[in-house]
Amino acid sequence: MSNVLRLAIVDPNDSSRESLKAMLLGMDMIWLEAECSRYEFFADVVAQTNPDIGLVSVDRDRDKALELVARLAESSPDCSVLVVSSSNDGQLILQAMRAGAKEFLTQPVRIEDLLGALGRISERRFGRGDKKPRGSQVIAVCGAIGGVGTTSIAVNLGCALARDAKNSVALVDLDLCLGDADVFLDTIPDYTLVDVAQNVTRLDFTLLKRSLTKHSSGLFLLPRPVQLADIALVTPEDLQRVIGLMKATFTHLVLDLSKSYSPIDLVALEMAHHVLLVTQLDLPCLRNVVRLLMSFAEMKGIGDKVKIVVNRVGLDHGQITLKKARDTIGRDIFWQLPNDYRTMIEVRNNGVPLIEHAPKAAITQAILGMAEALTRDDQSGASEAQGRAGRSRLFGFFTSKGK
């Protein structure tokens, strides 16, 4: 896809190569296509993998490295060469540029310098217009307690996002024991998360999509393992790599977490841009929301991403009020979804998403509104979007403030 820059790296120094890899793997706009530890092999690696960028560390052997840069400029002109070195000698920089390098960075590489260099390369490749690479949005859906509807929300949110032709959307079922996203979509997948995780280093964008199950809505599904014994085959490191590849392939990635908050789930939370914490308006759920928020606040980079989603609003008259819920958890409610038990049972049992089974239902409109709010660049638009969704069916029932 055009939403990432594919990069290959050569650095004979294991330590600095691993440091660069760690930085690159955390960037949405980069997919690490290949790595190499020998200058003499790298031109062949580039010829075989056709990356957008070739990153060359020149410190081990400056002459060989500069010769490689010149060779790449001649044999692979579509590959932009980015040179890194611990030296900031002006003569070296001039030699690298004359050899064909497009950018030069000094080690240790600062993230802002790397982003700037990648941005300039991207701009030269794609221009300033609509063809500029598009980042991927990762949305993790987790629950305050079992049975609050996380999978229903994850599946239907994914289908709502996939409705837009500009989006390519994938759903990953991370409830490795009892996940049932495939049931909601009435699919029998050929491959599971285990298959992709064990072969991720050999997959490219095309093979990845062939390993997923595509639903009629346009949503791609990567289901949980079939056998319980296979769960141990998926490690947090595997999942990080899988999510990295999927971020490079899809514009939106929805992660349906388990209720155990295992190391696998924590990786998903760390890599997500939005964390939807689903709850209901009852005491056990709200108590767990407070507990989870306290834990998330202690985890670097997670607490600020959490958005509270209240499901099954209007379930009965015994529910805690929205005002009391906000006071209890100490933050605003991001979104509210109405109780529509009959419709949700029908879509689950028939394996048909809401946008196909009941496109005009209040619950469907609420899901569509939430999808729109999540894709907005400015978070302040959420209230306006929620209001529009609610006025159409629920007479103000869905205002983001709640009453």
d(CA 58, CA 64): 8
Please give the order of strands across the beta sheet that includes 53-57. Answer: 30-36, 5-10, 53-57, 80-85, 103-106
How much is the pLDDT for 311? 97
Q: 132 lies in a domain?
A: no
- The pLDDT tens digits of the residues spanning 254-304 come to 999 999 999 999 999 999 999 999 999 999 999 999 999 999 999 988 999
Torsion of CA 238, 239, 243, 246, to 10 degrees: 60
How much is the pLDDT for 5? 83
Of the candidates 105, 126, 147, which is a domain's last residue? 126
Q: How many CB atoms lie within 10 A of CB 28?
A: 18
* Residues 348/183, Cβ–Cβ less than 8 Å: yes
Q: What is the CATH number of the domain that holds 91?
A: 3.40.50.2300
- Residue 399, pLDDT above cutoff 90: no
Of the candidates 126, 149, 181, which is a domain's last residue? 126
- The pLDDT tens digits of the residues spanning 359-381 come to 999 999 999 999 999 988 434 44
Residue 303 one-letter amino acid? G
* Residues 329/397, Cβ–Cβ less than 8 Å: no
Q: 12 lies in a domain?
A: yes
Q: 377 lies in a domain?
A: yes
How much is the pLDDT for 383? 45
- The pLDDT tens digits of the residues spanning 305-330 come to 999 999 999 887 678 999 999 999 99
d(CA 190, CA 2): 27
Domain that holds residue 269: 137-393
Q: Please give the tally of structural domains in the chain.
A: 2
- The pLDDT tens digits of the residues spanning 133-143 come to 456 899 999 99
- Residue 160, pLDDT above cutoff 50: yes
How much is the pLDDT for 388? 44
Asked whether residue 360 falls in the same domain as residue 271, the answer is yes
Phi, psi of 300 (to 5 degrees): -60, 125
Of the candidates 94, 126, 158, which is a domain's last residue? 126
Q: What is the CATH number of the domain that holds 215?
A: 3.40.50.300
Asked whether residue 145 falls in the same domain as residue 116, the answer is no
How much is the pLDDT for 127? 62
Phi-psi sector, 353: left (phi>0), alpha (psi -120 to 50), beta: beta
Q: 399 lies in a domain?
A: no
Task: Scan for tokens 């896809």, then name that residue.
Answer: 1
* Residues 169/153, Cβ–Cβ less than 8 Å: no
Asked whether residue 333 falls in the same domain as residue 385, the answer is yes
- The pLDDT tens digits of the residues spanning 97-148 come to 999 999 999 998 887 788 788 888 888 876 654 444 456 899 999 999 999 9
